[in-house]
């Protein structure tokens, strides 16, 4: 098996501390939340964070979509440690210290840009049944600066070391110029750059930045809701997920020697993949509804599993199987957490 060396996988995104709680419908209604959504916190959500902690039993987990995926990839790989590198911005505070500690425990080489203007970002994960509504208060995560961190020689050296790059679409709201710098590097050096649509609001309100990055995207991830929103915004004139995957695949591409692969998950329904001239649906691992603790982090885990195999140059089928395996492990647990070792062969 090709060895995945240290720093072979690079991720950059919003490091957040997840505040998870099982809530009721009244709580969702009070703050105008959909049961299954991802949004950025607005002024009307300020009290939500306080009420969540006061009223419900909360658990704190190191989160942030890209960081979750990078950690899961490292967990799947196990050895060597520090195959995965992560960049993002945190505050100089207790929550920031927790994120640093959790990254170290996960054997991820995290290089945070630390600043004191804003506190470390948080994400309220409001769980009802097998739905999760995420409200992110980016705070420090929103302060990532290309010239203050990514451009520094010692940091850029880590970027250059990598072979596979992954960034969740969420980071488009923070530093599109950082994403473009990494994406262009990957394209010029014929390395693999992967991006996640991440949320309907990214496809809707950050369309311009998203489409500036798209020509550099070798692997595009998303779920069925994001795919549908993307198709509508791009005027694909179809609601058929396989058609959407094909159309997303054939959007303009900078590095033509590497055709884009599109991967759309659909929860318990199969994962749709457009690769080459085919669209294939891969069934997910069956799970009893009663065994699902919460689906928060399932999508991140899928990507992490997928990345763990592509770093080792495994075929697409193995990438999908590993993604499904990792997601199946995570939905049996609270937050995007894992047991000590994977059982994946």
**Three-state DSSP state, 338:** coil
Read off the CATH number of the domain in which 84 is found: 3.40.1190.20
> What does the pLDDT read at residue 220?
98
Range of the domain at 73: 9-15+63-119+139-331
Q: Which residue has the tokens 């991720």?
A: 11
> What does the pLDDT read at residue 1?
45
Residue 101: how many CA atoms within 13 Å on its side-chain side? 8
Give a yes or no: residue 34 inside a domain.
no
Indicate which residue of 18, 218, 294, 300 is catalytic. 300
Give a yes or no: residue 239 inside a domain.
yes
> What does the pLDDT read at residue 295?
77
Residues 6+ apart with CB under 8 A from 272: 241, 242, 245, 262, 263, 264, 266, 279, 280, 281
User: How far apart (Å, rounded) are the C-alpha atoms in residues 33 and 27?
Assistant: 8
Residues 6+ apart with CB under 8 A from 313: 2
Q: Cα-flanking dihedrals φ and ψ of residue 162, to 5°? A: -75, 160
Give a yes or no: residue 127 inside a domain.
no
Give a yes or no: residue 23 inside a domain.
no
Give a yes or no: residue 41 inside a domain.
no
Is 300 among the catalytic positions?
yes
Give a yes or no: residue 181 inside a domain.
yes
**Encoded tokens for 302:** 């899928």
Alpha helices in the chain (DSSP H): 25-30, 46-55, 65-77, 94-105, 153-161, 176-188, 200-205, 207-213, 224-233, 241-249, 298-310, 316-330
pLDDT tens for the chain, residues 1 to 345? 455 789 999 999 999 999 999 999 999 999 999 998 889 999 999 899 999 999 999 988 889 999 999 999 999 999 999 999 999 999 999 999 999 999 999 999 999 999 999 999 999 999 998 788 999 999 999 999 999 999 999 999 999 999 999 999 999 999 999 999 999 999 999 999 999 999 999 999 999 999 999 999 999 999 999 999 999 999 999 999 999 999 999 999 999 999 999 999 999 999 999 999 999 999 999 898 889 887 778 999 999 999 999 999 999 999 999 999 999 999 998 777 888 899 998
Q: Tell me if 217 sits within 8 A of 189, measured CB to CB.
A: no
Structurally, how many domains does the chain consist of? 1
Q: Which of 250, 297, 223 is nearest to 61 (CA)?
A: 297
> What does the pLDDT read at residue 235?
97
Burial class (CB in 10 A: 0-12, 13-18, 19+), 207: middle
pTM above 0.75, yes or no: yes
């Amino acid at each position: 098996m090709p060895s995945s060396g240290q720093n072979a996988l690079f991720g950059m995104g919003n490091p957040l501390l997840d505040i998870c709680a099982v809530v009721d419908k009244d709580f969702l209604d009070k703050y105008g939340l959909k049961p299954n959504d991802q949004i950025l916190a607005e002024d009307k959500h300020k009290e939500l964070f306080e009420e969540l902690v006061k009223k419900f039993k909360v658990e704190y987990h190191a989160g942030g979509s890209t960081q979750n995926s990078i950690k899961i990839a490292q967990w799947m790989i196990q050895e060597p440690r520090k195959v995965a590198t992560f960049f993002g911005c945190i505050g100089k505070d207790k929550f920031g210290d927790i994120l640093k500690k959790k990254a170290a425990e996960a054997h991820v080489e995290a290089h945070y840009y630390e600043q004191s203007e804003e506190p470390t970002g948080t994400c309220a994960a409001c769980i009802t049944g097998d739905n999760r509504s995420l409200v992110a208060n980016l705070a420090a995560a929103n302060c990532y600066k290309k010239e203050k961190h990514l451009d520094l020689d010692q940091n850029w050296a880590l970027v250059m070391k990598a072979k596979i790059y992954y960034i969740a679409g969420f980071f488009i709201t923070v530093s599109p110029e950082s994403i473009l710098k990494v994406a262009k590097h990957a394209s010029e050096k014929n390395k693999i750059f992967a991006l996640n649509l991440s949320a309907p609001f990214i496809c809707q309100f950050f369309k311009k930045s998203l489409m500036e990055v798209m020509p550099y995207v070798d692997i595009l991830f998303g779920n069925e809701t994001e795919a549908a929103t993307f198709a509508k915004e791009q005027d694909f004139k179809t609601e058929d997920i396989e058609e959407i995957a094909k159309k997303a695949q054939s959007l303009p591409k900078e590095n033509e020697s590497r055709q884009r692969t599109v991967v759309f998950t659909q929860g318990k329904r199969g994962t749709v993949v457009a690769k080459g001239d085919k669209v294939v649906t891969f069934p997910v691992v069956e799970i009893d509804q009663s065994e699902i603790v919460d689906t928060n982090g399932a999508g991140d885990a899928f990507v992490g599993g997928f990345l763990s195999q592509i770093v080792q140059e495994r075929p697409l089928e193995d990438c999908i199987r590993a993604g499904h395996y990792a997601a199946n492990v995570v939905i049996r647990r609270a937050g995007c957490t894992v047991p000590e070792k994977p059982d994946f062969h």
